[in-house]
Amino acid sequence: MANPNDVETWIRARLPALLAEHQVPGAAIAVCVGDETVDFATGVLSRATGVEATTDSVFQIGSITKVWTATLVMQLVDEGRIDLDASVRRYLPDFVLADNAAAAAVTVRQLLSHTAGFEGDIFTDTGVGDDCVEKYVATLADVPQLFGPGEMFSYNNAGYCVLGRIVEVLRGASYDECLRRFLFAPLGLRHAAASPYEAILHRAAVGHLTAEPGAEPQPAPVWSITRSNVAAGAMLAMSPRDLIAFARLHMAPGHRALSGASVRAMRERQVDVPYLGTDTSWGLGWELFDWPGGRVVGHDGGTIGQRAFLRVVPERGVAVALLTNGGEVIPLFETVFAHILGELAGVTVPKYPVPSAEPRRVDATRYVGTYASRMAESTVGQDAEGRIWVDQRPTPVAVGLGMTPQRYELLHLRGDTLLAARAEAGVHMPHTFVGDDGAGHAQYLHTGRADRRLTR
Profile the chain (456 residues) by mean pLDDT over runs of 10 residues: 80 97 97 95 97 98 98 98 98 98 98 97 94 98 96 97 98 98 97 95 96 87 93 96 97 86 96 85 96 94 96 96 96 96 95 89 96 94 96 88 88 94 87 93 96 84
Give the pLDDT score at 444: 97
282: CB partners within 8 A, 6+ apart = 113, 114, 153, 269, 270, 271, 273, 288
Assigned CATH topology for domain 1-352? Beta-lactamase (3.40.710)
Instruction: For the beta carbon of residue 200, count every other beta carbon within 10 angstroms.
Output: 11
> What is the phi/psi pair of residue 345, to 5°?
-125, -5
Closest CA to 137 of 118, 112, 155, 164: 164
Residue extents of the structural domains in the chain: 1-352, 369-453
Residue type, 162: V
143 Cβ contact partners less than 8 Å away, ≥ 6 residues apart: 97, 98, 118, 119, 122, 158, 374
Half-sphere CA count of 317, side-chain side, radius 13 A: 8
Tell me the pTM: 0.95
Q: Does domain 369-453 have CATH number 2.60.40?
A: no
Residue 2: its pLDDT value, please? Answer: 63
Q: Would you state the pLDDT for residue 322?
A: 98
The answer to whether residues 40 and 29 touch, using CB atoms and an 8 Å cutoff, is yes
Give alpha helix (H) positions in 228-328. 240-249, 260-266
DSSP H/E element including 16: helix 4-21
**Residues involved in catalysis:** 63
What residues contact residue 330 under an 8 Å CB cut-off, 6+ apart?
Answer: 352, 425, 426, 427
